[in-house]
């Protein structure tokens, strides 16, 4: 899932594993209150930005999945404790002994919001659509072309050659032997493939919608409600472009939600969002404006409506390991160890977040506490001295640049790091504030020294989604870092059939990553938003983005009397 740093609340408190809400003052998740009458079952939520598409296969941002996950349902979904997946559009599945053939049995009562049944052929079509080079679905690679048989040729197909595209798509290992059986063949055994089948983009699309929509299927226009019919619990009811999307229950869905209307508003300004919440115009916000965090904590009513809890999202500082001086691992570790993360979270993030010294966020099975990168100024100075004996010169250290995306929040963060490096190591780092796209470009092309901060949010709670970031040649690391031992350990973790073997392999990889420090891990995100006390039955979950996601949905929520 794409991470946006929207100036909203950042990271978290030391919550235990698998905590469903209840970390904050908000205690309206139990669902014990009496529901209000059906005409009052209206939920008003802010999703910040209008989705750029409603075609599930092309969705890539949190605010798109906010609508998409309610409208569509994939084969499986995450279990409430993140440990595994459970059936959603599929009621059961079997995996062949070699781990290569996955056979899904679809629910017999699965229906789209126009009443037509969900058939296995629709899954075949949408899986093929994801891998169709002419559609260019953003998440095709690596989730689908790295797993599904035939998909490995994705990058070599010329999208302009219609015949090549057709034979590639036809040759993909997805098929429907009958209307309720969907078979996927894989390139190699991948125990984590179950999570891929739970991704929001792997949802069935009704054949008639797709043929009527053509290349504009999924367009977010006012006539979309008559053109897009999902198999999820809610359906599109109204779209006012750039203003709001209204969802109403899909009356053909197997269980009917209590909510009769969900309005997804697209309010970008955090102050306006906060104002609207105080006025009762919004029931759930995306965050709290940084300047109002203290106000909310101190207000008797608002502090009770505050929702806090961990999210599976960590942030780190990037180093370019291909150029001096950050090609020196000891120097990188010295920089990592000279940042007081606790002070950062307290003073800069106003305690909205948790300090972290490692990549994997708390809440995932692969999380391990570590002090390798932990704040220790004495050790940092020793490492700096060592780096100097290894060829790092004072001239290099006097000319270090750190670049960041220009915004008030990031400016404060960057100045904090600058001050830490100066006070602990005596190194004066120059800060370069740049426009967001320029920073992305510089990081992506390794045209920088140090910068950030970069974040990663779990697409699914499996180590594979995280450790693959730092394998050699990965487009998702901006460090240009390569380590054979790390690659081998990750390869073992990604493919070992036994879960315990996978964890051992990932643990080895994690230690290499922390010691070699291609990045400096700083903090884990915390959910920090407001939910009206009249909203009941919400499940706030680490894996989810904000109020809904893989585990939680609007189906369990209702408005109390």
What is the contact surface with another protein in residues (CB under 8 A)? 1-5, 52-53, 55, 58, 133-138, 140-142, 145, 154-155, 159-160, 213, 215-221, 240-243, 265-269, 271-272, 275-276, 278-279, 405, 435-438, 440-442, 444, 454-457, 459, 475-476
Cα separation of 367 and 477, whole Å? 20
- By beta-carbon proximity to another protein, the closer residue of 465 and 516 is 465
- By beta-carbon proximity to another protein, the closer residue of 17 and 159 is 159
- By beta-carbon proximity to another protein, the closer residue of 220 and 513 is 220
Kind and range of the H or E run holding 432: strand 430-434
Cα separation of 251 and 233, whole Å? 8
CB of 55 to another protein, least distance (A): 7
- By beta-carbon proximity to another protein, the closer residue of 93 and 456 is 456
CB of 203 to another protein, least distance (A): 16
- By beta-carbon proximity to another protein, the closer residue of 88 and 522 is 522
Give the sheet arrangement for strand 306-319, strand by strand: 354-355, 519-530, 306-319, 450-457, 401-405, 430-434
CB of 439 to another protein, least distance (A): 8
Measure the CA dihedral 346/549/8/26, to 10°: -60
CB of 272 to another protein, least distance (A): 6
CB of 80 to another protein, least distance (A): 25
- By beta-carbon proximity to another protein, the closer residue of 153 and 181 is 153
CB of 224 to another protein, least distance (A): 10
Closest CA to 544 of 469, 463, 461, 468: 461
Q: Cα separations (Å) of 217 from 132, 210, 213, 229, 400?
A: 14, 6, 4, 11, 48
The answer to whether 464 and 494 have CB atoms below 8 angstroms apart is yes
- By beta-carbon proximity to another protein, the closer residue of 61 and 375 is 61
In eight-state DSSP terms, residue 107 is P
Q: Give Cβ neighbours of residue 449 (< 8 Å, ≥ 6 apart).
A: 319, 320, 323, 326, 400, 401, 402, 403
CB of 315 to another protein, least distance (A): 11
- By beta-carbon proximity to another protein, the closer residue of 291 and 385 is 291
> Hey, CA dihedral for 380, 382, 385, 390, is it positive or negative?
negative
- By beta-carbon proximity to another protein, the closer residue of 196 and 380 is 196
CB of 437 to another protein, least distance (A): 3
Measure the CA dihedral 313/318/321/322, to 10°: 110
In eight-state DSSP terms, residue 291 is G
Residue 377 tokens, joined = 């100024």
Long-range contacts of 382-385 (CB under 8 A, 24+ apart): 383/330, 383/331, 383/333, 383/334, 383/337, 384/330, 384/331, 384/334, 384/425, 384/427
The answer to whether 22 and 30 have CB atoms below 8 angstroms apart is no
CB of 453 to another protein, least distance (A): 10
In eight-state DSSP terms, residue 243 is T
Count CA atoms closer than 13 A to 549's CA, side-chain side. Answer: 24
The answer to whether 65 and 549 have CB atoms below 8 angstroms apart is yes
- By beta-carbon proximity to another protein, the closer residue of 254 and 441 is 441
CB of 497 to another protein, least distance (A): 27
Closest CA to 82 of 465, 477, 513: 465
Count CA atoms closer than 13 A to 148's CA, side-chain side. Answer: 28
- By beta-carbon proximity to another protein, the closer residue of 31 and 142 is 142
CB of 295 to another protein, least distance (A): 13
- By beta-carbon proximity to another protein, the closer residue of 195 and 252 is 195
The answer to whether 218 and 228 have CB atoms below 8 angstroms apart is yes
CB of 381 to another protein, least distance (A): 33
Kind and range of the H or E run holding 414: helix 408-425
Phi, psi of 478 (to 5 degrees): -105, 15
CB of 246 to another protein, least distance (A): 13
- By beta-carbon proximity to another protein, the closer residue of 91 and 238 is 238
């Amino acid at each position: 899932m794409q991470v946006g740093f929207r100036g909203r609340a950042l990271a978290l408190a030391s919550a235990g594993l698998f905590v469903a809400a209840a970390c904050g003052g908000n205690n309206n998740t139990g669902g014990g209150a009496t529901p209000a009458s059906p005409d009052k079952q209206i939920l008003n939520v802010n999703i910040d930005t209008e989705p750029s598409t409603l075609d599930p296969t092309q969705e890539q941002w949190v605010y798109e999945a906010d609508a998409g996950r309610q409208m569509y349902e994939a084969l499986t979904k995450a279990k409430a404790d993140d440990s595994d997946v459970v059936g959603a559009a599929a009621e059961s599945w079997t995996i062949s002994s070699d781990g290569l053939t996955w056979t899904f049995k679809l629910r017999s009562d699965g229906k789209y919001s126009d009443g037509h049944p969900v058939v296995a052929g629709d899954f075949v079509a949408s899986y093929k659509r994801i891998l169709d080079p002419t559609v260019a679905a953003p998440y095709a690679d690596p989730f689908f072309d790295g797993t599904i048989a035939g998909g490995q040729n994705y990058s070599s197909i010329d999208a302009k050659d219609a015949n090549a595209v057709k034979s590639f798509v036809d040759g993909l290992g997805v098929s429907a032997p009958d209307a309720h059986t969907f078979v996927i063949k894989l390139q190699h055994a991948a125990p984590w493939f179950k999570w891929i089948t739970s991704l929001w983009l792997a949802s069935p699309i009704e054949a008639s919608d797709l043929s009527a929509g053509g290349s504009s299927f999924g367009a977010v226009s006012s006539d979309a409600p008559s053109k897009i019919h999902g198999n999820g619990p809610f359906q599109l009811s109204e779209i006012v472009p750039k203003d709001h999307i209204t969802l109403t229950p899909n009356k053909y869905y197997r269980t009917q939600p209590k909510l009769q209307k969900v309005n997804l508003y697209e309010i970008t300004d955090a102050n306006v969002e906060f104002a609207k919440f105080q006025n009762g115009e919004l029931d759930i916000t995306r965050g709290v404006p940084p300047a109002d965090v203290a106000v909310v904590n101190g207000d008797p009513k608002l502090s009770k409506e505050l929702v806090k809890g961990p999210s599976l999202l960590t942030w780190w500082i990037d180093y370019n390991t291909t150029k001096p001086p950050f090609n020196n691992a000891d120097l990188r570790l010295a920089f990592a160890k000279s940042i007081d993360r606790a002070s950062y979270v307290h003073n800069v993030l106003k305690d909205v977040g948790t300090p972290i010294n490692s990549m994997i966020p708390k809440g995932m099975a692969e999380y391990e506490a570590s002090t390798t990168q932990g704040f220790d100024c004495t050790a940092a100075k020793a490492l700096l001295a060592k780096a100097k004996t290894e060829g790092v010169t004072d001239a290099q250290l006097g000319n270090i640049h750190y670049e960041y995306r220009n915004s008030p929040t990031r400016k404060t963060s960057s100045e904090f790091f600058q001050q830490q490096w100066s006070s602990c190591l005596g190194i004066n780092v120059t800060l370069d504030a740049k426009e967001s796209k320029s920073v992305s470009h510089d990081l992506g092309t390794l045209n920088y020294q140090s910068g950030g901060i970069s974040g990663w949010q779990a697409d699914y709670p499996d180590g594979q989604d995280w450790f693959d970031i730092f394998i050699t040649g990965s487009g998702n690391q901006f460090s240009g870092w390569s380590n054979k031992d790390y690659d081998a350990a990750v390869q073992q973790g990604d493919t070992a059939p036994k879960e315990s073997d996978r964890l051992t392999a990932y643990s080895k990889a994690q230690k290499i990553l922390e010691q070699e420090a291609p990045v400096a891990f700083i903090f884990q995100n915390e959910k920090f938003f407001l939910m009206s006390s009249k909203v009941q039955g919400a499940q706030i979950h680490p894996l989810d983005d904000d109020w809904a996601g893989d585990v939680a949905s609007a189906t369990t929520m209702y408005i109390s009397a």
